Amino acid sequence: MNVEARLKDARIANAAAHWGPRFTVNGVDFSDFKDVTSALQSWDDWCGAWSARAAEHEARGRAALAAKQYVSAREHLVRAAATYHFAKYLFVQDMAQMKAAHSKAVACLTDALPFMEPPGERVLIPYEGKHLAGVLRKPRGVQKPPIVLMTMGLDSTKEELVTFQQTFLDRGMAILAFDGPGQGEAEYDFPIRPDYENVVGPVIDWLETVRPDVDTKRLGIWGISLGGYYAPRSAAFEKRIKAAIANCGPYNWGALWAKLPELTRAAYVARSHSKSDAEAREKAFGLSLEGIGEKIECPIFIIAAGLDRLCPPEDAKRLASEVKGPVELLVIEDGNHVAHNRPYSYRPQSADWMARQLGAVAVR
């Protein structure tokens, strides 16, 4: 295939150029990324091509399960879940294809959870007459550990967060990664909403009511990308949160609209349940941290990336300057969006910081 043919669809060229670090640090094999993106010529084939590659990993996982080779089953199924997730990633022009890939991602991760280290469980949290689906994992050997709520970005889901989870689990913290409105299993019923404290509040209520095995008096929140808006917003109004991490979130999502990539805007149109780009843009201005920083009293760790194409580092710096409580700002000058290309520059550091805030003890 010649380069000219492959570059006819700029969306594929953009994916090949920019998405590799995110995919590979979150569970996709590097060779899979190269194979699939190099063979694609049209964005219309994205979901199908990635789903086909994911099915290979799923088949290995199912075979390992049948043979009771549970470590191998976990490895294959977790990789399959991440690969199916990225098949659906930003693919909103064909909802039937997207939903099929998404259901596969959910099934693969769910089947892997009992065999993960430490194990996980699928949970359903009551929310506005329906449920938010989540994954709860606890560190081994820790009685009533502190817990970190994990809030992801625009088109992230809990199936993408396995490697992120480990940094907290290894330091003695439980995690609850859940699909909020506009995300994953909740995206079909609930649009994105700016007042995220009204999502996090019911999640904490549920933990306090039915999960005495975690310490909700030592509860933190973590968010990446658009979750880097949700986390500080929640911390400003939900005072049961004792510490927050915000990674590469926007200060005002609407103010960034004109410079956002085409696929990102299209995904926000879909996830906000808007009828047009114009309606979505108007809603995007509701995701603003104007006047929010002064309400954040708990400690917050803010991460910015100098090469971020979506949420410029100036947004994080502005939030840090306005926070009322203790704040630590980490700028990764050569980091891309969420600094996926430099995970070693912030994942351990931010998890260590959260462990100190919540009084967690590392698992040995």
Tokens 């310490």 correspond to 215
Q: How far apart are CA 277 and CA 143, in angstroms?
A: 49
Tokens 């010529």 correspond to 41
pLDDT in tens, 270-326: 999 999 999 999 999 999 999 999 999 999 999 999 999 999 999 999 999 999 999
Residue-level pLDDT at 130: 98
pLDDT band with cut points at 50, 70 and 90 for residue 166:
very high
pLDDT band with cut points at 50, 70 and 90 for residue 328:
very high
Residue-level pLDDT at 362: 87
Mode of pairing for the β-strands spanning 215-224 and 146-151: parallel
CB atoms near residue 273 (< 10 Å): 17
* Mean pLDDT computed over 330-359: 97
Helix (H) or strand (E) holding 131: strand 130-137
CB atoms near residue 251 (< 10 Å): 24
Q: Is 150 helix (H, G, I), strand (E, B) or coil?
A: strand
Q: How far apart are CA 192 and CA 45, in angstroms?
A: 27
The overall average pLDDT reported for the chain is: 96
Residue-level pLDDT at 3: 45
Tokens 């843009």 correspond to 281
Angle between helix axes 10-18 and 262-271 (nearest 10 degrees) is 90
pTM: 0.95
What's the Cα-to-Cα distance from 208 to each of 48, 202, 204, 211, 218, rounded to whole Å? 42, 10, 6, 6, 11
pLDDT band with cut points at 50, 70 and 90 for residue 8:
low
Q: Six-digit token pair at 313?
A: 């580092």
Residue-level pLDDT at 7: 46
Q: What angle is formed at CA 204 by the lines to CA 165 and CA 238, rounded to 5 degrees? A: 105
pLDDT value at 107 more than 80: yes
Alpha helix locations (H) across 245-333?
Answer: 262-271, 277-284, 313-322
Q: Is 38 helix (H, G, I), strand (E, B) or coil?
A: helix
How far is C-alpha 6 from the geometric centre of its chain's CA atoms?
Answer: 29
pLDDT band with cut points at 50, 70 and 90 for residue 334:
very high
21-24's contacts with Cβ under 8 Å and 24+ in sequence apart are 21/336, 21/340, 21/341, 22/337, 22/338, 22/340, 23/82, 23/86
pLDDT value at 2 more than 90: no
> Which residue type sits at 234?
S
Q: Six-digit token pair at 332?
A: 């990764």
pLDDT value at 364 more than 80: no
pLDDT in tens, 220-279: 999 999 999 999 999 999 999 999 999 999 999 999 999 999 999 999 999 999 999 999
Residue-level pLDDT at 363: 78
**Which residues is 302 bridged to in the sheet?**
246, 329
The residue count of the chain comes to 364
Cα dihedral: 99, 250, 202, 209 (round 10): 100
> Do the beta carbons of residue 174 and residue 146 sit within 8 Å?
yes
Angle between helix axes 10-18 and 30-39 (nearest 10 degrees) is 160
Positive or negative CA dihedral for 288, 352, 79, 309?
A: positive
pLDDT in tens, 47-100: 999 999 999 999 999 999 999 999 999 999 999 999 999 999 999 999 999 999
pLDDT in tens, 111-157: 999 999 999 999 999 999 999 999 999 999 999 999 999 999 999 99
